[in-house]
């Protein structure tokens, strides 16, 4: 089973002047980012802005062309990334499971980072209790014995977040977790993330989206990307503004925040 992630003395995630070049094209150019324990970042930008490319670097799934990336204090290119990934909670919305595992069984596969249960490893009672606690936090206890094929997309998303948290990672990486969800499922997901962050104050997270309405109220920081370059980064009060979001999406919008949640509307021409 994976052990708990080591606690670095510095930032959990750090990218310095990162470029990613593919076939002569810059997917990211000069992007820097520093994430401390307990911070919850949003990566925002239009389609093709470079959000998922940056998340892949932070999740040790790829390497930069130029610049440096340190994850949990370890520099990519100088560490066994397979070992490093074991300490990151990376939620893949395209989880390739086809067998009828129950919610509980799917969450427990997070211990071995496998799609199917490992027949040679059996979870301890404490690990089963941890899985059930995560399932409860994410609001799907009533579906704990339901088979994967019967779950809604929203229930699958929350199950995969619980699965990613089983090894007790320091970092949770979410790539557009609310995509395709109806209103109720989206709100249940965001409420679950808010509760999770309250229950685990040491956890840091990065959430990729291009809709401000899909940000939990517990979001603390944001990085805005446009055409692979950073428009702004920092605390949400300084970055999720009408001026900066309009620049990020190359379109005039008006940003409002009510009850801790954000909304974007097209600016009315004067």
pLDDT tens-place string over residues 137-156: 888 999 999 999 999 988 99
Q: Count Cα atoms within 13 angstroms, Cβ side, for 227.
A: 3
For residue 34, the model assigns a pLDDT of 94
40 has pLDDT over 80:
yes
Q: What are the CA-CA distances from residue 56 to residues 98, 123, 126, 198, 205 (Å)?
A: 25, 29, 32, 26, 14
Nearest to 18 by CA among 243, 257, 247, 233: 233
27-55: burial string, b at 16+ Cβ within 10 Å, e else: bbbebebbbeeebbbbbbbeeebbbbbbb
Identify the band that residue 6 occupies on the pLDDT scale cut at 50, 70 and 90: very low
Share of the chain above pLDDT 90, in %: 54
What is the C-alpha separation between 55 and 173, in angstroms, rounded? Answer: 7
For residue 144, the model assigns a pLDDT of 96
Residues of the chain with CATH 3.40.50.300: 1-87+171-270
Identify the band that residue 81 occupies on the pLDDT scale cut at 50, 70 and 90: low
Which pairing describes strands 88-91 and 221-226: parallel, antiparallel, or unpaired? unpaired
Q: Which of 20-29, 195-204, 234-243 is predicted least confidently?
A: 195-204
For residue 5, the model assigns a pLDDT of 42
Cβ atoms of residues 80 and 258 within 8 Å: no
Cβ atoms of residues 204 and 36 within 8 Å: yes
For residue 269, the model assigns a pLDDT of 62
47 has pLDDT over 70:
yes
Q: What's the predicted TM-score (pTM) here?
A: 0.86
Q: What are phi and psi of 194, to 5 degrees?
A: -60, -45
The pLDDT tens digits for 160-184 are 999 999 988 888 999 888 888 889 8
Q: Helix (H, G, I), strand (E, B), or coil: what is residue 39?
A: coil
Cβ atoms of residues 107 and 159 within 8 Å: yes
Identify the band that residue 108 occupies on the pLDDT scale cut at 50, 70 and 90: very high
Q: Which CATH superfamily is domain 1-87+171-270 in?
A: P-loop containing nucleotide triphosphate hydrolases (3.40.50.300)
Cβ atoms of residues 31 and 15 within 8 Å: yes
Q: What is the CA radius of gyration of the chain?
A: 19
Identify the band that residue 222 occupies on the pLDDT scale cut at 50, 70 and 90: very high
35 has pLDDT over 70:
yes
Helix pair angle (153-165, 125-137), 10° resolution: 140
Identify the band that residue 119 occupies on the pLDDT scale cut at 50, 70 and 90: confident
4 has pLDDT over 50:
no
For residue 1, the model assigns a pLDDT of 41
103 has pLDDT over 60:
yes
CB-based contacts of 50, cutoff 8 Å, min separation 6? 20, 27, 28, 31, 225, 227, 228, 229
Which pairing describes strands 253-258 and 204-209: parallel, antiparallel, or unpaired? unpaired
The pLDDT tens digits for 198-218 are 888 889 999 999 899 999 999
For residue 252, the model assigns a pLDDT of 93
For residue 2, the model assigns a pLDDT of 42
């Amino acid at each position: 089973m994976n052990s708990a992630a080591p606690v670095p003395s510095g930032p959990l995630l750090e990218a310095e002047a990162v470029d990613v070049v593919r076939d002569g094209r810059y997917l990211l150019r000069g992007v820097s980012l520093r994430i401390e324990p307990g911070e919850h970042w949003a990566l925002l930008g239009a389609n093709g802005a470079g959000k998922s490319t940056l998340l892949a670097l932070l999740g040790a799934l790829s390497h930069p062309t130029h610049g440096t990336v340190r994850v949990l204090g370890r520099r990519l290119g100088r560490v066994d990334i397979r070992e490093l990934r074991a300490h990151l909670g990376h939620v893949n919305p395209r989880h390739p499971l086809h067998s009828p595992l129950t919610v509980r069984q799917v969450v427990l596969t997070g211990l071995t980072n496998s799609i199917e249960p490992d027949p040679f490893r059996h979870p301890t009672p404490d690990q089963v209790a941890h899985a059930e606690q995560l399932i409860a936090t994410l609001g799907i206890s009533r579906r704990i014995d339901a088979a994967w094929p019967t779950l809604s997309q929203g229930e699958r998303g929350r199950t995969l977040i619980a699965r990613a948290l089983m090894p007790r990672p320091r970092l949770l990486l979410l790539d557009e977790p609310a995509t395709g969800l109806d209103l109720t499922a989206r709100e249940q997901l965001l409420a679950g993330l808010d509760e999770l962050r309250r229950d685990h104050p040491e956890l840091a997270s990065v959430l990729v989206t291009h809709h401000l309405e899909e940000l939990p109220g517990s979001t603390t920081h944001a990085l805005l990307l446009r055409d692979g370059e950073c428009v702004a980064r920092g605390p949400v009060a300084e970055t999720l503004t009408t001026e900066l979001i309009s620049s990020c999406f190359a379109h005039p919008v008006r940003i409002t925040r009510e009850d801790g949640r954000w909304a974007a509307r097209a600016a009315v021409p004067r």
